Amino acid sequence: MIETFIFYMYATILVASAVMVISARNPVHSVLFLILCFFNAAGLFVLLGAEFLAMVLVVVYVGAVAVLFLFVVMMLDINLARAREGMMAYLPTGAVVGLVLLAELVVVFSNWGFAPHIAAEVQAPMAAYAHLTNTDALGHLLYTRYVYLFQISGLLLLVAMVGTILLTLRRRPGVRKQTIADQVARSSRSVEVRKVPTGGGV
Amino acid sequence: MTLDLVPVLPELLVVAAAVAVLMWGVFVQRDTTRDGFVIAIVAMVAAIVALGAIGGDRRLAFDGLFVLDRFAVFTKIMILLAAIFTASMSVDFLEREKIGRFEYPALVLFATLGMMLMVSSNSFLSLYLGLELQSLSLYVLAAYHRDSTRAVEAGLKYFVLGALASGLLLYGISLVYGFAGTTAFGPLAQLLGSGGATAKIGVIIGLVFVMAGLAFKISAVPFHMWTPDVYEGAPTPVTAFFSSAPKVAAMALFMRVLEGPFVHLFVEWRQVVVALSIASMVVGSFAAISQSNIKRLMAYSAIGHVGFALVGLAAGGAIGVQAVLVYLSIYLVMVVGTFAVILSMRRKGAMVERLDDLAGLGKTSPMLAFVMGVLMFSMAGIPPMAGFWGKFYVFMAAVQRGLWPLAIIGVLTSVVAAFYYLRIVKIMYFDEPVDGLDRVLGRPVALVMAVATVGVLALTFIPGPLLAGAKTAAMALFPAAG
């Protein structure tokens, strides 16, 4: 009972905020609604018992991607009035494409079915890990059977990092940068505290 | 589960060297490009020694994700040799152009590592990760000279199209996984051999996508669009690297995938390989005729050579694989030598790369012209040069397996291709000399040139050891037959 209630709560908020993402006038509001979307989707994953996915969704999408979006949206000066120009001209074509997609989805889902033996495998894909939480189970697999792939993925990220630095880092002379060591090393004598009389100036 | 690290010892050496190069470059406060190259080359030589010591019977590692067999050993040695030669040619170039940075040898090592993992992959997961490791390093290398618009354009084009190809490959892999239920090569071969008829059509569609993704990496027509621009735009030593080691690695991967998990779909994939092969041979031969830039010419030449190598793959079986390996080894020697010549084409200190710049080379620098002449005759496949034997073996394999038309098209297109190779010889020896090229020749470049020339001549007169090596390597892919 309570489960059903929570599901509908998350689902309703999810769909509503998804609608708001595309209909909000202010792009910053859109991004904020997107974050709300992600949180609700994460809630749905928890209900499904996929708590690892829920965590990843929050950490990766809310923590990194959405914040990045927010930065981009705030830094770019997007003229919404211009973006909405020609809305009426594109509407018929867009509506037709949307209807075709909808019809196809209906056709697909009205004939949807799993092979009989799949149904058994969906619930416990790895019998040996059935008693673990799925974060545990993923860890067990990732660091034992797939440690090779895990390590190569690490190397891939290293190459990506090296490549980014190689292609973008420029050492320019005369740039004023913050040197934390210098700041910390300043002695107390370089700062003087004075009593300034009101209206007197230094 | 114990971890058997012996089969991956060569890879571990390369990784350790790459990380060492990065650390050395970061912590030593001076230009460490040259040190980096020394570390890289020493590590790669050590990897070859390790391969020789371990090599031999088929060994699996990491729960069957990684396989080391004679095929992998053979191709890895080819890849490492190509990487060593092209890396040693890069040092002088980078120093003269003043673009030396320590990341270059590190990226070469990472790319080489990716290729070694590719040819040793025994599952689609390890295949994909190895391929990406290689590609990502190569994208960066293509754009390495970031102040040159052409290099950046080359890097960007390569990256965008490469990402698309990876997408196709992954889509194919996911289809295969979806319909077969496994990504491991062994079980997949068993499954397809036992005739899982219901799943077959899905697997075939997946196979076609996988082949399209891999065809991009070997730049087979119609997935070759990036090749001329990237070859022209990238710094010349990078182009030399591109046209040697990655081609071998991707071809080897192609063979491992088609003759491994998909060996029972031979009839299906053969049509695709034949189509790729014919298109590559034709485009490689005809499009190269109108080129005036030697790096672009080499790009089309590479496309053509891939087409010829694919003839052997289309023949299939151990005999086809052997022919492809022989072809690739000979191609490797020729292409490395040719790029050594291209790298020494400078006039008044600046690189020149037009065909006309070679005019009269026979009079101004006879040795260089002789080397280039030998290599061009070999590339064209004029008997009795090594290049001829490479083509001979792939065409013979095709004929033996009943692919007469393919062999005939191959012979015809190689006649067309001979035109532009021989035109270079004509320009060098019979055209009026322009200002001579600079006579300074870096020691490594001269060494590579000498090795390549001797290599081509050696393979011309004593091809025996290569043939035998390629044969044992090819047999390793067919454990049942051997």
Determine the pLDDT at residue A83. Answer: 66
Q: Does the structure show a pLDDT above 80 at B155?
A: yes
- Considering only CB atoms, B140 lies closest to which of A144, A145, A163, namely A163
- Considering only CB atoms, B129 lies closest to which of A147, A156, A167, namely A156
The tally of domains found in chain A comes to 2
Q: Identify which of B424, B319, B343, B430 has the alpha carbon closest to the alpha carbon of residue B379.
A: B424
Of A53, A78, A103, the residue that ends a domain is: A78
Give mean pLDDT, residues B272-289. 94
Domain that holds residue A166: 133-170
Which residue blocks in B194-315 are alpha helix, DSSP H?
197-217, 226-233, 236-259, 266-286, 294-315
Taking the C-alpha atoms of residue B40 and residue B470, their distance in angstroms, rounded to an integer, is 27
Of the two residues B469 and B480, the one the predictor is more confident about is B469
pLDDT of B125-139, one tens digit each? 999 999 999 999 999
User: Where does the pLDDT of residue B199 fall: very low under 50, low under 70, confident under 90, or very high at 90 and above?
Assistant: low
- B46 and chain A in contact, CB less than 8 A: no
Q: Pick out chain A residues at pLDDT < 70.
A: 77-84, 114-127, 202
Indicate the average pLDDT of chain B. Answer: 91
Give mean pLDDT, residues B43-51. 95
Neighbours of A75 (CB within 10 A): 8
In angstroms, the separation between the Cα of residue B146 and the nearest Cα of chain A is: 6
Q: Is the pTM of this model over 0.90?
A: no
- B15 and chain A in contact, CB less than 8 A: yes
Q: Does the structure show a pLDDT above 80 at B434?
A: no
Q: Does the structure show a pLDDT above 60 at B197?
A: no
Determine the pLDDT at residue B455. Answer: 92
A vs B: CB pairs below 8 A = 61
Same domain, A2 and A74: yes
pLDDT of B101-120, one tens digit each? 899 999 999 999 999 999 99
Give mean pLDDT, residues B156-175. 95
CA-based torsion, B86, B88, B94, B96: positive or negative: negative
Contact call for A166 and B144, based on CB within 8 A: yes
Answer yes or no: is A153 within a domain.
yes
Give φ, ψ of B351 to 5 degrees: -70, 135
Backbone φ/ψ region at A198: left (φ over 0), alpha (ψ -120 to 50), beta: beta
Answer yes or no: is A185 within a domain.
no
User: Where does the pLDDT of residue B451 fall: very low under 50, low under 70, confident under 90, or very high at 90 and above?
Assistant: very high
Answer yes or no: is A110 within a domain.
no
Answer yes or no: is A1 within a domain.
yes
Determine the pLDDT at residue B482. Answer: 39
Determine the pLDDT at residue B57. Answer: 83
- A155 and chain B in contact, CB less than 8 A: yes
Question: Is B426:B327 a contact under the CB 8 Å cutoff?
Answer: no
In angstroms, the separation between the Cα of residue A140 and the nearest Cα of chain B is: 13
Taking the C-alpha atoms of residue B41 and residue B45, their distance in angstroms, rounded to an integer, is 6
Alpha carbon A157 to chain centroid, angstroms = 19
In angstroms, the separation between the Cα of residue A115 and the nearest Cα of chain B is: 12
Of A46, A78, A110, the residue that ends a domain is: A78
Give mean pLDDT, residues B159-188. 92
User: Where does the pLDDT of residue B323 fall: very low under 50, low under 70, confident under 90, or very high at 90 and above?
Assistant: very high
Contacts of B62 in chain A (CB under 8 A): 147-148
- A162 and chain B in contact, CB less than 8 A: yes
Give mean pLDDT, residues B1-9. 80
Answer yes or no: is A180 within a domain.
no
Give mean pLDDT, residues B237-242. 95
Answer yes or no: is A66 within a domain.
yes
Q: Does the structure show a pLDDT above 70 at B224?
A: yes
Determine the pLDDT at residue B363. Answer: 87
| Cis peptide bond prior to B261, omega within 30° of 0 | no
Give mean pLDDT, residues B437-449. 83
Q: Does the structure show a pLDDT above 60 at B1?
A: no
Give mean pLDDT, residues B211-235. 93
pLDDT of B53-69, one tens digit each? 987 788 888 888 999 99
Q: Which CATH number fits the domain that encloses residue A3?
A: 1.20.120.1200
Contact call for B140 and A166, based on CB within 8 A: yes
Q: Does the structure show a pLDDT above 50 at B46?
A: yes
- A169 and chain B in contact, CB less than 8 A: no
Q: Among the listed ranges A44-58, B218-232, B251-265, B426-440, which one has the minimum average pLDDT value?
A: B426-440
pLDDT of A154-182, one tens digit each? 999 999 999 999 998 887 777 777 888 88
Answer yes or no: is A125 within a domain.
no
Taking the C-alpha atoms of residue A123 and residue B416, their distance in angstroms, rounded to an integer, is 61
- B137 and chain A in contact, CB less than 8 A: yes
Which residue blocks in B260-291 are alpha helix, DSSP H?
266-286
Give mean pLDDT, residues B234-256. 94
Q: Does the structure show a pLDDT above 90 at B171?
A: yes
Answer yes or no: is A193 within a domain.
no
Same domain, A5 and A74: yes
Of A78, A105, A121, the residue that ends a domain is: A78
